[in-house]
């Protein structure tokens, strides 16, 4: 073992030792599409047995918490005490904190609209709305684009759930919210006033309130330096970059956003719990 690997091993052990809650990115960290990475079921069970908690933590706002819980249950990895937290949930919490009672035009899926309604956020068509929210809408139409664009151009508050340019998938990655942010910048001249998801601090502040823990006891684990690791660094969280998804060792070494520790996969932490 070379010196760098030995030092990384010490850092990884220290991170795991200090962590009480793991925030786990999913695709590329836990699974790739529907295939678990290595012995993931036993790794996650070892985390639970150690007394640590698991929060499945994602920028994808096209799916509801319930839909993710169902998927994770099908994969056999949703256990007692686990939670799911999305950028859509963070956006709803942000709206309730800073725009309570304001009518929202939401460009999002029916599932997300249901979550907003359950959170007490009044939804309206663009003509009657006071705030525009852009989420990952897999049912996006030109009519929705025109309506939200008008609101943005008129200067209404404009919030996006997350900044990811593409969504991971087999073959060609489909455009995600970040791509549509650029579209609306071209057509309206504005970027969002607030972006809630990773790597920004809105989602970090929300999860800190929910967990009631100091940031040094919270660890973000993910495969993207520019979202997962930058998010951890922006919010004062511990961080582990895994090389099981989008990032390889060369990319990790060159990335400006440095994790506290690097692991080939999340399965490496099982021996350190």
User: What pLDDT was estimated at residue 125?
Assistant: 98
pLDDT at 254 over 90: yes
Half-sphere exposure of 138 (CA within 13 A, CB side): 11
What are the tens digits of pLDDT across the range 73-87? Answer: 999 999 999 999 999
- DSSP category for residue 207: H
Could you tell me which residues are beta bridge partners of residue 25? Answer: none
User: What pLDDT was estimated at residue 182?
Assistant: 98
pTM as predicted:
0.95
Helices (H), 63-108: 65-74, 87-98
Torsional sign, CA 72, 78, 81, 82? negative
What are the tens digits of pLDDT across the range 8-26? Answer: 999 999 999 999 999 999 9
What are the tens digits of pLDDT across the range 176-221? Answer: 999 999 999 999 999 999 999 999 999 999 999 999 999 999 999 9
User: What pLDDT was estimated at residue 170?
Assistant: 73
What are the tens digits of pLDDT across the range 187-197? Answer: 999 999 999 99
pLDDT at 1 over 60: no
Q: Could you give the CA distance from residue 21 to residue 43 in angstroms, rounded to a whole number?
A: 14
Which residue did the predictor score with more confidence, 134 or 246?
134
What are the tens digits of pLDDT across the range 83-111? Answer: 999 999 999 999 999 999 999 999 999 99
What are the tens digits of pLDDT across the range 22-60? Answer: 999 998 999 988 899 999 999 999 999 999 999 999 999
Furthest-apart CA atoms within the chain: distance in Å: 64
pLDDT at 173 over 90: no
């Amino acid at each position: 073992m070379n010196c760098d690997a030995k030092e990384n091993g010490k850092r990884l052990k220290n991170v795991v030792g200090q962590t009480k809650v793991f925030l786990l990115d999913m695709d590329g960290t836990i699974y790739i599409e529907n295939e678990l990475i290595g012995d993931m079921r036993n790794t996650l069970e070892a985390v639970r047995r150690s007394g640590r908690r698991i929060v499945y933590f994602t920028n994808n706002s096209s799916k509801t918490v319930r839909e993710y819980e169902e998927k994770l249950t099908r994969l056999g990895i949703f256990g007692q005490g686990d939670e799911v937290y999305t950028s859509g949930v963070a956006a709803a919490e942000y709206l309730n904190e800073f725009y309570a009672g304001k009518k929202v035009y939401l460009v999002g899926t029916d599932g997300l609209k249901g979550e907003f309604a359950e959170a007490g956020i009044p939804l309206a068509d663009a003509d009657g709305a006071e705030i525009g929210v852009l989420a990952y809408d897999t049912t996006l139409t030109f009519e929705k684009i025109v309506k939200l664009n008008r609101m943005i151009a008129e200067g209404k508050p404009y919030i996006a759930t997350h900044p990811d340019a593409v969504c991971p998938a087999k073959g060609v990655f489909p455009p995600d919210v970040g791509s549509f942010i650029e579209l609306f910048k071209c057509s309206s001249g504005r970027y969002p006033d607030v972006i809630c998801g990773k790597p920004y601090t809105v989602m970090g502040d929300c999860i800190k309130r929910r967990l009631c823990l100091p940031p040094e006891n919270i660890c973000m684990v993910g495969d993207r330096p520019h979202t997962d690791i930058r998010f951890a660094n922006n919010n004062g969280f511990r961080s582990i970059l895994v090389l099981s998804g989008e990032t390889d060792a060369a990319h990790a070494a060159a990335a400006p956003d440095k994790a506290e520790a690097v692991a080939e996969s999340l399965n490496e932490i099982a021996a350190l719990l």
